[in-house]
Chain A
Amino acid sequence: MKKDQDARDSGWREDPRYKIANREAGTGVGLALLNFFWWFGFAYGMGSRPVEEYRYILGFPDWFFYSCIIGFFVIGFLVWAVVTFLFEDVSLEDSPEEQEGGGESE
C-alpha cells in the first residue's frame, strides 16, 4: 500500500501486468523446488539402501523408477496443470490496451 503511494507521488504507475508476471515466476520457482525434492528424496532416500534390498518395478530399481520415471510424469503433469489453471493470458505488447488489470490505479 505504501509502495503504491510512493509510486503515485513520483508520478508513475507500475505496469499492472508485472503483478501477474511476478506471481507466475514465483510459481515456477516453487515447481522447481518441488521437482528437486522429489528427485532427491526418492533417489537418495531409497537408493542409499544396500543393493540387495532394492525392489524392482518394471525391471528398474525402485529408487530410479520413482525418482526419474514417475518424477518426470508428475512434474510434466504439474507444469500442464499450473499453466492451464494458474497462468493468465496477458498482452505482451508495449502499449497495452489493458485497463482491466489496473484495479489498483485509484
Chain B
Amino acid sequence: MNVSLVWPMLLYLAAVFVIGYFSSKHMGKAPRFLQEYFLGGRELGGFMLAMTLTATYGSASSFLGGPGTAYTLGLGWVLLAMSQLVTGYFTLAVLGKKFAIMSRKIGAVTLVDFLQARYRSKGVVLWSSFAILLFLFSAMAAQWVGGGRLIQSFTGIPYEAALFIFAVTVLGYVAVGGFRAVAITDAIQGVIMVAGTVVLLIATVVVGGGVEPIMEKLAAENPRLITPFGADGSLTPLYVSSFWILVGVGVVGLPQVAVRAMSYKDSRAMHRAMVIGTFVIGAIMLGMHLIGVFARAVVPGVEVGDTVMPVLALKVLPAWLAGIFLAAPMAAIMSTVDSLLLLISSTLIKDVYLNYIRPEADARTVKILSVTVTAVIGVLVFLTAIKPPELLIWLNLYAFGGLEAAFIWPIVLGLYWKKGNDCGAMISIIVGMASYLVFGRIWENPLGMHGVVLPVILSLLGYVIGSWLTSHRDRERQREIIVRFWGVR
C-alpha cells in the first residue's frame, strides 16, 4: 500500500463527512424539512449551482471510462466528448426561469411534484417514479462499482472493503446532510475535478515532450488516431452527432439535473451558473479526454481502458500529487452518486409515500423516514455493487438514455406547450422508456445513430399526438392547470 497515495483520499473522505454533519445542523433549524432536505431550501447561488450541475453530470465516465476510450480511439473521441459543452448552458437556459417560477408557484420540491401538478394524473406519477427508481438505481450501482474499484486500485485493499469505505462515506453525508450537504460537497468536488484535470494535463504534456511530438507519435502509430473518425474508423459523423442528444441537449430530461434547475436562489444565480458551468464542463471534458489521447504516447500498451488514468497519474506525477489527483475521479463518482441517492429517496418518500400511502404523515415521521430510506437504499446499492456488472460507461449511459427518453418531453413541453396533457405525458414516458429498452436489446444503433435518438423522437410524437387526440376531454381541468401554471394571481 502506498501511503502517500492513500492519505489525500482519506483526508478527503473525512472532510466530506464533516460537511455532512454541519449541513445537518443547519437543517435542524430550517422551517420546512422536505424543502430543505431535498432542495437545500432553494438557496443555491451561481457558483454552487454550476458546480453541483457539473459534478452531478460529470461522473466516473468523464474520468475513467471516457479517457480510457479516448486512449483507444484517439481525437475523434475527444470531439465526441465535446458535445457535452452544451450541457453547461443549455439546461439552465431552456428550463431556466420558467421552471424556477412554476415550481415556486406550485411549491414543487421534486421533478415528480412538478409532473403531478402539471398533469394531475396518478399514472404519470407512478410511472415516472418507477422510471426514476429503475434507471437511477442501475446508474448508481455502476457508479459505486467505479468508486470501489478506484479505491481498490490505489490502495490495494480488497474490492469489497473498498466498496464498503466508499458506501459508508457517501451514506454518512447524504443521509444526514441532504441536498445542502450534496451541493456543498459537489462544489468542493467540482473544484478538485478542475484542478486535477489541469495539473494532469500539464504534467502529461511535459512528460510527453510537448503536444507536437505526441501527435507525431500517434500519427506514426495509426494516422486515424488524429482524425475525427477514430482509430478503427467507426466514428461516423452521424453517430458522433447523435451524442448531442444523449450527452448534450437531452440532459434536460434527467431528473437529477432538472431538479437542480429549481434549486437556485434568484435569476442572477442562474446567469452566473450558465457562464461558470460552460467553462467548467468544457475544461473538464476537453482536458480529461485529451489526457486520455496523450496517454497513448506517454504510457503505451495499457490494456484495460479504465486503468489508463491511474497508470498515467502515477507515471507523470509525484506520488503525493497523484494521490490528490486520485481524489478527482473519486470526487466525480461521489458527487454523482450523492445526487442520485437523494433523488431516489425523494421519489420514494415525497412522490410515492406522501402522495399515496400516508398523506397525513407528521413531520417527525417524514424526517426519520427520509433519513432511513436514504440509508436503506444505500445499503441495497452496496449489496448490488458487490457482484458488479461489467462495462461501467455503457451501463451508465444506458440509464441516462432511458430517463431522457422518458422525461424530456413531459418536462420541456409541460413548460412551453399549454395543450400538453396527462395522456400525452403518459404515452411519452412509456413509449420513450420502452422503446429505448427494446432498441437497446434488438437494434443497438438504429440507422447508424446512438440508440437514444429514435426513442426521443418517438416519445415526442407520443406526447404531441396523445395530447391532441384527448384535447377535447376535461377542458375545465386543463383550464385550471393552465391558469395555475401560467396565470398571475
Contact = CB atoms under 8 A, between A and B. Distances in A.
Interface of A: 10, 12-18, 20-22, 24-25, 27-29, 31-32, 35-36, 39-40, 43-44, 47-48, 51, 54, 56, 58-61, 63-64, 67-69, 71-72, 75-76, 79-80, 83-84, 87-96
B360 to A, nearest CB: 25
B96 A40 contact: no
B486 interface: yes
Select the residue from A31, A54, A60, A76 with max chain B CB neighbours within 10 A.
A76
Contact of A25 (B88, B96, B275): B96
Given A36-B244, A44-B228, A60-B211, 17 more contacts: A16-B488, A18-B101, A25-B93, A25-B98, A28-B93, A28-B96, A29-B93, A36-B86, A39-B82, A47-B227, A51-B224, A56-B212, A60-B215, A69-B286, A76-B279, A88-B267, A89-B268
B487 A13 contact: yes
B96 A18 contact: no
A51 B224 CA distance: 8
Given A15-B486, A88-B267, A64 B93 contact: no
Contacts of B210: 59
Contact of B486 (A18, A54, A67, A83): A18
- Majority secondary structure of chain B interface residues (helix, strand, loop or mixed): helix
B447 interface: no
A76 B5 CA distance: 35
10 contacts: A15-B487, A17-B97, A25-B416, A32-B249, A35-B86, A36-B86, A39-B82, A64-B226, A72-B85, A79-B89
Contacts of A32: 86, 89-90, 248-249
A58 B78 CA distance: 17
Contacts of B229: 47
B145 interface: no
Contacts of B268: 89
Contacts of A51: 219, 223-224, 226-227
Contacts of A95: 489
A101 to B, nearest CB: 10
B244 A76 contact: no
B278 A90 contact: no
B101 A68 contact: no
- Majority secondary structure of chain A interface residues (helix, strand, loop or mixed): helix
Select the residue from A79, A84, A93 with max chain B CB neighbours within 10 A.
A79
Interface residues of B, number: 56
Interface in B217-235: 219, 223-224, 226-229
A31 B278 CA distance: 12
A39 B228 contact: no
Contacts of A43: 79, 228, 237
B479 interface: yes
A93 B97 CA distance: 11
A47 B228 contact: yes
Contacts of B479: 10
Q: List the 4 shortest-distance A-B pairs measured between CB atoms, nearest first.
A: A28-B93, A59-B211, A59-B212, A47-B228
B56 interface: no
A76 B483 contact: no
A69 B79 CA distance: 10
Nearest to B273: A83
B100 interface: yes
B221 to A, nearest CB: 12
A75 B223 contact: no
Contacts of B83: 39
A63 B75 CA distance: 10
Given A13-B488, A18-B98, A63 B228 contact: yes
Contact of A87 (B100, B215, B271): B271
Contacts of B101: 15, 17-18, 21, 92
A83 B271 contact: yes
A14 B101 CA distance: 13
B97 A24 contact: yes
B274 A79 contact: yes
Interface in B28-55: none
Given A24-B96, A24-B97, A79-B88, A64 B279 contact: no
Contacts of B92: 28
A73 B242 CA distance: 23
A51 to B, nearest CB: 4
Contacts of A40: 237, 241
A64 B104 CA distance: 43
A93 B102 CA distance: 9
A92 B275 contact: no
A15 B237 CA distance: 43
A81 to B, nearest CB: 10
Contacts of A64: 75, 78-79, 226, 228
A61 B416 contact: no
Interface string B330-366: 0000000000000000000000000000000000000
A15 B483 CA distance: 10
A27 B96 CA distance: 11
A18 to B, nearest CB: 6
A92 B227 contact: no
Nearest to B479: A10
Contact of B97 (A13, A14, A21, A72): A21
Nearest to A13: B488
